[in-house]
Amino acid sequence: LAEQEIFPHVEKEWVKELKYFTLDEFSNKIVKAGKVKSNLKVEEISEQYNDDAFSPYDGELVRWADHLAAFLEAWNSIGNGIKSEELTASAQKLAEMYRKMPPLAIPLQSLYASFKL
C-alpha cells in the first residue's frame, strides 16, 4: 500500500531511507556497503556497528515501544470505563509477557508492574 499511496508522493531520494525505517520495522538492522543487514542481535549492533555510518536500527526497541503504547492505550481505556474482555486480555497478556522477560538494560518488568489492571 505504501508503494502505491505514499512513496509516489515523496522525493525519490528519500524513498530508500523511508523503506529502511518502515519495512521490517521490528528487526534489528544496519546498512553496510549499501546493503541492509538484518536480524542482528542488539549486542552485535552495540559492539560492532554503533556508528552513524551503519545507520544502526534497534527494531527490538521499536517493538517494545509499540507494545508499551498499546498497553498504555488499553490501560487508559480500562481506567476510563471502556472495558471489554478483549481489551483487558490484551493488556494482561502484554504485561505478563514483559514481567516474565529476563532483566534488560531498560527495566520493562518494573515499568509494567507499576500499572495495575
* The pLDDT of residue 116: 86
**At residue 38, what are phi and psi to the nearest 5 degrees?**
-120, 180
| Helical H segments across the chain, by residue range | 2-5, 12-22, 42-48, 59-79, 85-99, 108-113
Give the tens place of pLDDT for each residue, 67-110.
999 999 999 999 999 989 999 999 999 999 998 888 777 888 88
**At residue 90, what are phi and psi to the nearest 5 degrees?**
-65, -45
* The pLDDT of residue 57: 96
Task: Please give the Cα distance from 13 to 110 (Å, whole number).
Answer: 42
* The pLDDT of residue 102: 81
* The pLDDT of residue 40: 95
Task: Please give the Cα distance from 63 to 35 (Å, whole number).
Answer: 23
Mean pLDDT, all residues of the chain: 93
Task: Please give the Cα distance from 23 to 88 (Å, whole number).
Answer: 30
pLDDT (mean) for 53-69: 95
